[in-house]
Amino acid sequence: MQPRTSHPSDFGFQTSNFITRRWFLRDCTIGFGAMALNNLLTRDGFGATGPLAPRRPHHAARAKRVIYMFNAGAPSHLELFDYKPELEKRSGQLPPADLLKNYRAAFIKPNSALLGPKFKFRKHGASGMELSEVIPHIGGIADEICLIRTMQTDAVNHAPAQILMNTGNQNFGRPSFGAWTLYGLGCESEDLPGYVVLTSAKGTSGGASNYGSGFLPNMYGGVPFRSTGDPLLYLSNPAGYDAETQRASLNTLNALNHISFTGQGDPDIAARIQSYEMAYRLQSSAPELIDLSDEPKHVLDMYGIKDVKQPGYARNCLLARRLIERGVRFVQLFHEAWDQHAGLTKGVQNNARDTDQASAALVKDLRQRGLLDDTLVVWGGEFGRTPMVQGGNDGRDHHNRCFSFWLAGGGLKRGHVHGETDDLGFNPVTPPVHVNDLNATLLHLLGFDHKRLSYRVQGLDMRLTGIAGNVVSDVLA
């Protein structure tokens, strides 16, 4: 299939090429019976052909799948990734007035005292990357990751900033990065959705829009795997229906639909038959996927999973690896826990305890399995936190001028730090990496020119990066 550029109407099952193709198939298959039809008709469910068919990107890709660990709530760069001894020295003093010009804070008066970092930092690996003592495991993979210390965003409130980070725009109704990826690259898995969402901790402020399809067709949106009840909605048969009954029902259903197909000549009926077959396969592939009992103990230990049934971030990290092993294009973890307006020390410690080991284990695991070379791993949140204190002496407000992200995998430098912030961790001193720049870079690694991956909506060729964004070449290997 051709790469995506702007496709005003290249979608859905009504498009001419697609219908013509299926029309051809139908004309050729009448008389072959249902079996022949099933074999001949390509699959419309999660992959193969149609809108979700795998396609080539614009240029050679460095990575073909993504695991995005979205640590929502805004992790404090000052406690985790960006050590500021000067901030420690000036803790309790007021910030310089010229820093605060036009500064937008959510809760505090900008003119609040500075607050020193709560944790010690130390250098890790051959690269000597300086990281906080609370994330020793990420420290252990320092030589694998590329740390960006000069991320910047436009929004200072959670919901808009999360939606901006995930969709490139702080208003609702735009496709998420995962949806754009699926739109551009299609889906390779035949038994699982191309874009899977896993949630731990609280729900996010941005909600379903963080992984939605926006104005792209619904099929490009993220499909949440749930921690309670069915992992996928309606996956289990109703009480009293075993696999055999389900199979018998589907056989009858398919046979009746096939009668209708031959009578009506509508290729959508054939597509419907395929969807039911896909659904049936999903009923076995999804439970197999989430059943971690076949994982050896040393793997579970590496992720820090004690109980394989216990939902949470660590389990989601391991599930992410299993998903991409099965051909899923994009896995996104959401873990909303990092909003430390107060209780900063304890809060960051707890969150690090919940996420550090498993985040690092995922990278190691991918490396060991040879998957890291063509997988993009992303770790970050919607913004950073103020060098100024909020409340007594153990909280920080929202800060959009600079914060940290780390990336690993296909096409990225390893053991590399990009960007430098000022002595207070307030402003970047090297050119900032705006959300649009990050997304342009990630798309570049996936093989796309972010200016050409577009979709026409109401007369505009819309892009993930809007009318901005530059690839950050310094992070590319």
Partner 1 sequence: MKRLPLALLCLPGLAHALDFNRDVRPVLAQQCFTCHGMDDHGRKGKLRLDLQASAYGSGKSGEIAIVPGKPEASELVKRILSTDEDEVMPPPHTKKVLSDKEQNILKQWIAEGAKYEAHWAYTPPQPSRDPKAGIDHFIRERLEKEGLKPSPEADRHTLVRRVHLDLTGLPPTPAEADAFVNDQSPQAYEKLVDSLLTSKPYGERWARRWLDLARYADTNGFEKDRPRQIWPYRDWVVKALNDDMPFDQFSIKQLAGDMLPNATPEDIIATGFHRNTMLNEEGGIDPNEYRFYAMVDRVSVTGTAWMGLTMNCVQCHTHKYDPVLHTDFYSVMALLNNADEPTYHIPTPDIKEQQKALADRIARLEAELPGKFPGGEPAMQQRFAAWQAEERGRASSWQVIRPTSMKTTMPHLEQQGDGFILGSGDISKSDVYDLSFKAPIQGVTAVKLEVASHPSLPNDGPGLTYYEGPIGGFFLSEFQAFQNGQRVKITNAEATNEEEEDKINDAAAAKPTKKAARKAASKKTNNAMATLDAEMSSGWQVLGGYGQSHAAVFHFKKPVDLTNGLDLKMLFEKHFACPLGHFRLSVTTSDHAEATGLPLEAENALATNDPTKRQAMLRTFLETAPEMKQAAAPLIAARRQMPRGQPTLAMKERPSSNPRPTNRYHRGEYLQPKEVVPPAVPAFLPSLPKNAPANRLTFAKWLFAPENPLTARVTVNRQWQAFFGRGLVKSLEDFGYQSEAPSHPELLDWLAVQLVKDGWSLKKLHKLIVMSATYKQASHRPDSSGQRDPENTLLSHAPRFRLDAEIIRDSALKAAGLLSLKMGGPGVYPPQPASVTSEGTYGKVEWKVSEGEDRYRRSLYTFTKRTAPFAMATTFDAPTGEACLARRDVSNSPLQALTLLNDQMFMEAAQAMAKAVIAEFTDDDSRLTNTFRRCLTRPPAADELTMLKTFLQKQRAQKLEGEALWTSVCRAVLNLDEAITHP
CB of 443 to partner 1, least distance (A): 22
Smaller CB separation from partner 1, 229 or 431: 229
Beta strands (DSSP E) in 153-271 are: 195-201, 223-225
Are 448 and 64 in contact by the 8 Å Cβ rule? The answer is no
The binding track of 80-109 with respect to partner 1, each residue x by CB under 8 A or -, is ------------------------xxxx-x
- Asked whether 76 and 340 are in contact (CB, 8 A), the reply is yes
Please count the other Cβ atoms lying within 10 Å of the Cβ belonging to residue 430: 12
Judged by beta carbon, residue 139 or residue 214, the one nearer partner 1 is 214
Would you call 228 helix, strand, or coil by DSSP?
coil
Pick 145 or 270: Cβ nearer partner 1: 270
Closer of 15 and 350 to partner 1 (Cβ): 15
DSSP-derived pairing of the beta strands 223-225 and 195-201: parallel
| # of chain residues touching partner 1 (CB under 8 A) | 93
For the bound state, the minimum distance from the C-beta of residue 272 to partner 1, rounded and expressed in Å, comes to: 4
Position among 39, 111, 236, 284 found at the interface with partner 1 (CB under 8 A): 236
Measured from the CB atom, the residue of 397 and 437 that comes closer to partner 1 is: 397
Min separation Cβ 276 and partner 1, Å: 5
- Nearest approach in angstroms of CB 20 to partner 1 is 5
What's the burial of 172, exposed, middle or buried (CB within 10 Å: 0-12/13-18/19+)? middle
Print burial letters for 43-67: b (CB count within 10 Å at least 16), e (below 16): bbbbbbbbbbbbeebbeebbbbbbb
Please write down the long-range contacts of 417-420, taking CB distance under 8 Å and 24 or more positions apart.
417/127, 417/129, 417/146, 417/147, 417/149, 418/146, 418/147, 418/148, 418/149, 418/150, 418/472, 418/474, 418/475, 419/148, 419/149, 419/150, 420/149, 420/150
State the CB neighbour count (10 A cutoff) for residue 345: 15
44 binds partner 1 (CB under 8 A): yes
Contact residue for partner 1 among 39, 93, 111, 252 (CB under 8 A): 252
| Minimum gap (Å) between residue 471 Cβ and partner 1 | 19
Out of 234, 243, 301, 353, point to the residue binding partner 1 (CB under 8 A): 234
d(CA 307, CA 410) in angstroms, rounded, equals: 31
Cα–Cα dist 376/227, whole Å: 25
Q: What is the secondary structure of 372-426 as a DSSP string?
A: GGGEEEEEE-S-EEEEEE-SSSS-EEEE-S-EEEEEEETTB-SSEEE--B-TTSS
Choices 132-140, 206-214, 315-323, 425-433; region in contact with partner 1 by CB under 8 A: 206-214
Smallest separation, CB 129 to partner 1 (Å):
33
Residues 315-334 that bind partner 1 (CB under 8 A): 334
Nearest to 325 by CA among 380, 283, 370: 370
Residue 422 tokens read as: 């000022």
Site for partner 1 (CB under 8 A): which residue of 54, 110, 217, 415? Answer: 217
Q: Does 202 bind partner 1 (CB under 8 A)?
A: yes
Question: β-strand 65-72 against 375-380: which pairing, if any?
Answer: parallel
Q: What angle do CA 352, 356, 362 make, to 5 degrees?
A: 155
Site residues for partner 1, 438-477, by CB under 8 A, read 458-460
36, 243, 259, 429: which one binds partner 1 (CB under 8 A): 259
Helix axes 243-264, 267-290, angle to 10 degrees: 160
The one segment of 20-28, 90-98, 323-331, 345-353 that binds partner 1 by CB under 8 A = 20-28
Q: Which of residues 350-409 bind partner 1 (CB under 8 A)?
A: 397-398
Between 248 and 477, whose beta carbon lies closer to partner 1? 248
Residue nearer to partner 1 on the CB measure, 198 or 440: 198
CB of 449 to partner 1, least distance (A): 17
> Does 28 sit near partner 1 (CB under 8 A)?
no
Closest separation in Å from C-beta 262 to partner 1: 10
Scan for tokens 């900033």, then name that residue. 161
Report the SS3 class of residue 466. coil
Site for partner 1 in 267-286 (CB under 8 A): 268-269, 271-273, 275-276, 278-279, 282-283
Residue 181 DSSP class: H
User: Where does this chain touch partner 1 (CB under 8 A) — which range of 41-49, 288-296, 381-389, 434-442?
Assistant: 41-49
- The residue range among 122-130, 177-185, 232-240, 294-302 that interacts with partner 1, by the rule CB under 8 A, is 232-240
Nearer to partner 1, 144 or 339 (CB): 339
Among 25, 113, 159, 292, binds partner 1 (CB under 8 A): 159
Segment 57-76, which members bind partner 1 (CB under 8 A)?
none
Contacting partner 1 within 165-194 (CB under 8 A): 171-173, 193
CA distances (Å), origin 441, targets 191, 326, 453: 30, 25, 13
